[in-house]
Structure 1
């Protein structure tokens, strides 16, 4: 497991503090995923819930944790396997009916809204902006590189 440097930990503690809305050096469970993403991680909501011990919706809204409890959770997320560009390109190749490196934008929108962590229409529009050519096709390798650079 990756060990964070003292400088990184100080930066994490500072960012954590920005999410403390009450001033008690704690944050709500429902802020944990946002903090992790602000710190460059990309956990799924399911990963975060698992790391938090599968809390109820009430616990998500009302339970709070301090930085010392948060840091091991951040380490756990950092240690999760991350998908590579090749993994995602390979996953989209299934939808490449003509074998020409493109998928239909409409089909990609359906995939984004129905599989995995479902995205809403606004999130999909934001992600797809400028990705479709005049025929409504998306060059999926470029698309994956775009998404992973955001």
Structure 2
């Protein structure tokens, strides 16, 4: 690579990766990899992250550490994954539950979906996500102001590709 690329990689190593290095050994815990990728603007599912890590056990997820050099190709894989869900997939997925065809979904229905499809969310995760999203009728507008819908950035919901979940 060019000097510029090397500089960027070095900067990234120090800033992004360094933030998550709790021990000071220039490594991060396996269970931090998903958070680092999301901090870098990616939205992999937990399943995808485990896959690039080689499907480690829960013990390994909690105990094993990964060095920067091993992390980079994993990140590259996630970035270049042709099957990753896009924001349009996400909106398309919500459209399935839009009974009125007006860009809204019922909060109660969305709660059921989040708890049962894809990477199932816990009651607490759903509550945290849905807080302040429903209007007085219990609906959530997902077309008009998607930026206000923090749902779209939730790692367990956002990347479920429409075609996988609903087709």
Using the size of structure 1 for normalisation, the TM-score is 0.82
Q: Is the 8 A contact 1:113 1:120 kept in 2?
A: yes
SS in 2 for 1:65: strand
Please state how far the C-alpha of 1:130 moved relative to its aligned partner. Answer: 2.6
Q: Distance in 2 between matches of 1:136 and 1:10?
A: 48
Hey, what does 2:13 align to over in structure 1? 13
Please state how far the C-alpha of 1:49 moved relative to its aligned partner. Answer: 0.6
Q: Distance in 2 between matches of 1:48 and 1:149?
A: 16
* Higher RCO structure, 1 or 2 (CA under 8 Å, sep 6+): 2
Please state how far the C-alpha of 1:143 moved relative to its aligned partner. Answer: 6.2
SS in 2 for 1:5: helix
Question: 1:4-58 CA deviation, whole Å, 9 max, x = no partner?
Answer: 9334322320121222222222222122112212222211111111001111122
Aligned pairs (5 A) from 1:1-150: 5-14=5-14, 15-81=16-82, 82-142=84-144, 144-145=146-147, 146-147=149-150, 148=152
Q: Distance in 2 between matches of 1:143 and 1:110?
A: 22
Using the size of structure 2 for normalisation, the TM-score is 0.75
Structure 2 stretches lacking a partner, 5+ long = 155-167
**Mean Cα displacement is larger for which, 71-80 or 8-17?**
8-17
Q: Is the 8 A contact 2:103 2:144 kept in 1?
A: no
**Mean Cα displacement is larger for which, 89-98 or 41-50?**
89-98
**Mean Cα displacement is larger for which, 11-20 or 102-111?**
11-20
**Mean Cα displacement is larger for which, 69-78 or 87-96?**
87-96
SS in 2 for 1:55: coil
121 and 11 in structure 1: CA distance in 2 versus 1, 3 angstrom threshold = farther
Q: Distance in 2 between matches of 1:18 and 1:124?
A: 28
SS in 2 for 1:103: strand
